[in-house]
């Protein structure tokens, strides 16, 4: 399994969440098998998103989708997103 971790700040969590949910069908098209949304305990507009993928190639294809920056901007992302791809290291 591969995990994509995306950390960014949003202008308003509820607005961002609606945009995130709307983009769910696209994540599924790329092969996303699940996700987890986390908010900073001291700042509810600081978000960490974990998405899960069958392969690194699936994750990379999604992370480099040219539509993604526009979707993030429309949802209210106000910082440069930090996007990292991790592979499962457990035996």
Each domain of the chain, given as residue ranges in start order, spans 2-86
CATH T-level fold of 2-86: Alpha-Beta Plaits (3.30.70)
pLDDT tens per residue across span 36-89:
999 999 999 999 999 999 999 999 999 999 999 999 999 999 999 999 999 999
Distance CA 61, CA 91 (A): 25
Q: What is the pLDDT of residue 90?
A: 85
72 neighbors 6 (Cβ within 8 angstroms): no
Q: What is the pLDDT of residue 30?
A: 95
Q: What is the pLDDT of residue 33?
A: 97
Asked whether residue 91 carries a pLDDT value surpassing 80, the answer given is no
Instruction: Report residue 62 CA to chain centroid gap.
Output: 9
pTM over 0.85: yes
């Amino acid at each position: 399994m591969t995990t994509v971790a995306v950390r960014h700040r949003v202008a308003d969590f509820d607005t961002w969440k609606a945009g995130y949910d709307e983009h769910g069908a696209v994540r599924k098209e790329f092969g996303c098998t699940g996700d987890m949304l986390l908010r900073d305990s001291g700042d509810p507009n600081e978000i960490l998103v974990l998405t899960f993928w069958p392969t690194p190639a699936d994750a990379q294809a999604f992370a480099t989708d040219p539509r993604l920056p526009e979707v993030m901007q429309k949802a209210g992302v106000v910082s440069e997103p930090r996007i990292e791809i991790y592979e499962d290291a457990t035996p």
